[in-house]
Structure 1
Amino acid sequence: MAAVDSFYLLYREIGRSCSCYMEALALVGAWYMARKCFTLVCDSYSLIRLHFIPKLVSRADFVKQYGRWAVVTGSTAGVGKAYAEELANRGINIILISRSKKKLEAVAKEIAETYKVETAVIVADFSKGREIYSSIKEALRDKDIGILVNNVGVFYTYPEYFTRLSEDKLWEIVNVNIAAANMMVHIVLPGMVQRKRGAIVNVSSGSCCKPTPQMAAYSASKAYLDHFSRALHYEYASKGIFVQSLIPFFISTNMTQFGDRILSNKFFFVPSAKVYAHHAVSTLGISRRTTGYWIHSIQFLLVQYMPEWFWVWGMQILNSALRRDAVSHGIY
């Protein structure tokens, strides 16, 4: 009988201990869920505030807010050209920088005639490295540069394993995707600081959110731009400079033509460059880190919450499919 009583008392003690642990775990679980729900509500509010509310109010006067001129790199096609057109539509004079003089002059003429603004062109191949920047600096001297859009970038010909990339491609990614943004900021930022106004937009990529296999060098270069932009904003926000990290996901452009057959016109989250730029420009001065497009913002939230292994698994499947499609169509 004494043994039974002892066992019963021990069982009750264990029950109390387990109950305490269960209550503690329940509190931790409730706190975790409350935190996630609060974060989701805040993210949803940010999405509405950034992408929908600005359309209900009058457009910001970028000329008054930042300055009369904008510099856009990689501006003869795709997002760069569309972004330049959106800025010109707001009355800002445009300086286009790219490597093709013929294309630059054609785009500059089109923008000037359509939007009645001044335009200028600078021919520069950013893949050449350090030697091109002295002439760019001289061409921009004494210009009231209010906005700099670092859009120029190079991608893989198609998704590929790192060891199969050529050395030329690797140096091109470093010179165009990383060095160009650094040097362009270094050229125009002193004038902005002196005038105590200005905006810098560095175009990153959704692939910077998590490690992206078969795009390792590209996604890493875009992660650099994202961190570079955020650090710059902390350094210069107090001096009147707004720095934005723009993080688009897939956009239908010439640079991503290898994926158009698989993605474009099949999924509503793949906008044209013109549609994307129209949305992205409206976020300037409001959000210092954004995808620029409301559907991409939903994708960004999903990526932020998903485990890294799931992202890697999905990108392995997608990039393998894109590579096979590109090779089968002779894009190599």
Structure 2
Amino acid sequence: MRTQFEELKMYESFDELANDVLDLANEILPEQMFYLTAFTDSQQVILKLSNQKSSIQITENMVVDLSNSVCGRIDFENNQPLRYEDVKRDCDVEEVERLLDDVNIRSYLGIPISLTNGEKFGTLCAVNDEASLLDPRSITLLQRIVKLFSYYLELERFVWRDMLTELYNRRYLTKYFEDRSNEHGALFFLDLDGFKNVNDTYGHDVGDVVLQEVACRLETIVNEQKEAFAVRLGGDEFVLHFSRSASLDEWGRIANQIIETLSTWETAYHVSASIGIVTYTRDEQTRLDTLLKQADDALYRAKSSGKRTFKL
């Protein structure tokens, strides 16, 4: 599964803006130690610290299970910060008090950072090893900073994402291969059988719904795999990339899973998928355009053989 931490590395101004956010936050509450975090489904990563208090046991790149994170208890749905001016006085949850005490935090403020689609990004946190005054005005100013930061994240996100499906786009795939030319893996190049008929019969609005549903199903598949991500190239063409080696039987099993997943529709319209697969090794010169051409040739053979199948 591709994580947003890896995607952040491609954001050209992320480090600079993250530092600016922390600097502004320190101007508002200068006695606090601030840090930015990001979430996956199960973990939290400390991305950046404003300053290091030696007494507080938090460091950059630290990874914490969300189940053991106080930030994981923040009310993202209602966009409400979590505030303890004095943990020993204000906190009535024994586990939270223990978690903060383990890293020597006496006061804590966690502000949720969400994208405009409601997806959780992470938090901006202010902590101290002493009890602190966290006044409402300061918290409101920090929330405004976080809102501006989330707008930046949204803009960067759609440099690398397809706006209709929110899968990665061709630019992301190109950048990925530019940065990792010595890895090994496989490309699955697929398009939808019968998609043109959906557009012609039901209209492009329904076609867009189909593409979004296909994207959702592909995301589910790649999230079950190690080191995989999905791309929409355009139209009804998609690429799945796997950064690992496997037997031909294993690639075939995954291809059949994709075909089965994309061929089941409880609707008046119906589509399926054909797939062309190309594998590559570290010893090869892995030019993306060459791999896509080879995978496209395999896809053409799959369609020519009757569709709803794959070719290696």
TM-score when scaled to structure 1? 0.21
Higher relative CO (CA 8 A, sep ≥ 6), structure 1 or 2? 1
Larger relative strand fraction: 2
TM-score when scaled to structure 2? 0.22
Larger relative helix fraction: 1
